[in-house]
Amino acid sequence: MGQTTIPAVVRDAAAKFGESEALVDGDLRLDYRTVLERVRTVARAFLARGIAPGDRIAINLPNTHHWVLTALGALYAGATLVPVNTRFTGAETVDLLVRSRARALVVAADFLGADRWSAIRATGTDLPGLTAIVRVPLEQPHEPVTGTLGWDEFLTGAERVPEADAEARADAVSPDDISDILFTSGTTGRSKGVLSAHRQVVDVAAAWAECGQVTGADRYLVINPFFHSFGYKAGIVVGLLTGATLVPQAVFDVRATLEVIERERISVLPGAPTVFRSLLHEPDRGNTSSLRLAVTGAATVPASLVRKMRSELGFETVLTAYGLTEAVVVTMCRPGDDAELVASTSGRPTAGFDVAIRDGEILVRGPNVMLGYLDDPEATAKAIEGDGWLHTGDVGVLDDGGNLTITGRLKDMYICGGFNVYPAEVEHALTELDGVRDVAVVGVPDERMGEVGKAYVVGAGLDAEVVVAFCRERLANYKVPRFVEFVDELPRNASGKVLKRQLRRGETHE
């Protein structure tokens, strides 16, 4: 599978699975042959806007068919994807557009009541590199906005480009070409763009599908955001490789999720532990007997949760996995593993990875380690050793069976509802708030979200509401601290480093 491309996979899916249902989004139902036709149309529409091979196309959309068709169309046209976190503020989004030198942006005209393009424009940043801006109305019809295209208007442009031109572009894509740049927050507060190749995306998706024994009989509810490697690579691409039916969900809602599971006979449902806890807390769950496979991770997974997922939600198989943007899926449990193993480990290496522990840190090596960080050779050299070992920054142990257990993090990252949060980024934002003299942020346990942020603030003339409101204006909601405690000083060691372990224990003084 190692020497192929995503355009080739789209074509192959149409040939293999034809009239099988590929994508269900509300009332829209597309089979695999139709998906290929629409992907070709999107590719031609991008060509009509002057998109050249290797150009970066940013997508700022929730999980809808528009995301799937835009992404696959961009890749079919030989472009590189830049997925944007839909929770990002205008300023955070602009940072990604500037640094990726995006040539096109496909953005939600309305999502959760907000006009994403307006938020971008409100930053006042000039984006001369953007040659095409497509605003997709999701919740209601929208009036045209000067300098932008509507979705239908964008697609109409395909008529100006011969089909053969799009096919030539798809043919020219190489397995080693960069398929996507996924931005991941850095511990210094500055995000890094992770470069992946087509062959790597296909390989990790194939490995994930094999571990989960996904087939064309499966119906896959994709709650994990498409802007995340889990939703895009272990979601969209897994569907294409297996013939499974994808059912994207734009916003996780417990009642809506249960209704979709019953109506669409969902069998595959990956997600953060938060998702399954929420489903289990719902007294009237309806019929969930179709559920077969759950894949979770990104936080502590108690054995009791695994057992309840099997006994109360009906999952035949519950798997845990470990991955990171720089390698996507590194280890995964396998069907047949007992509840204790699934709960206490993240499984065994997959997708050609070797895993080693050095000085406590998890190192991984293999053909699917990222190509590097965007425009950052220094960070790349620091992350990947000359012999190919990638430093993950996570701490763990391997048992005799090769199963990996994550025991901590070298740095201070915590995971809130499945999303990585780097305290340094939150701290950096808070230092801009008048009255804050010193600040430290740590993750504290939360039954529903796994972990949430708690900010310890040294300052005057402030209250918790002001601190939280300031963060909400500048940071995605999962990064906003849930708790704020004002202290006279932060505990530090002799060299001046904040003793975050003490803060996590609630100790603010040595």
pTM comes to 0.85
pLDDT above 90 for 115: no
Q: Which of 166-170, 385-389, 489-493 has the lowest mean pLDDT?
A: 489-493
Alpha-carbon separation of residue 303 from 269, 292, 343 (angstroms): 18, 18, 5
Q: Are 458 and 484 in contact (CB under 8 A)?
A: no
Q: Are 151 and 137 in contact (CB under 8 A)?
A: yes
pLDDT of residue 494: 47
Q: What is the 3-state secondary structure (H, E, C) of 98-121?
A: HHHCCCEEEEECCECCECHHHHHH
Other CB atoms within 10 Å distance of the CB of residue 367: 14
- Tokens representing residue 374 in the block: 């965007």
Q: Are 363 and 353 in contact (CB under 8 A)?
A: no
Per-residue confidence band for 509, with pLDDT thresholds at 50, 70 and 90 = low
DSSP state of 160: G
Domains of the chain (ranges plus CATH)? 6-174 (3.40.50.980), 252-409 (3.40.50.12780), 416-504 (3.30.300.30)
**Percent of residues, the chain, with pLDDT higher than 70:** 96
β-strand pairing of 192-197 with 293-297: unpaired
The amino acid sitting at 241 is L
| pLDDT tens by residue, 154-177 | 999 999 999 999 999 999 999 999
Backbone dihedral angles phi then psi of residue 284, each to the nearest 5 degrees = -110, 95
> Residue with structure tokens 């472009």?
79
CA atoms within 13 A on the CB side of 507: 10
Who has greater pLDDT, 431 or 486?
486
| pLDDT tens by residue, 423-480 | 878 887 887 788 888 889 999 999 999 999 999 999 889 999 999 999 999 999 999 9
Q: Are 485 and 477 in contact (CB under 8 A)?
A: no
CA dist 329 and 315 (Å) reads 21
| pLDDT tens by residue, 284-299 | 999 999 999 999 975 5
pLDDT above 80 for 508: no
**Percent of residues, the chain, with pLDDT higher than 90:** 76
As beta bridge partners, residue 395 has 361, 408
pLDDT of residue 186: 46
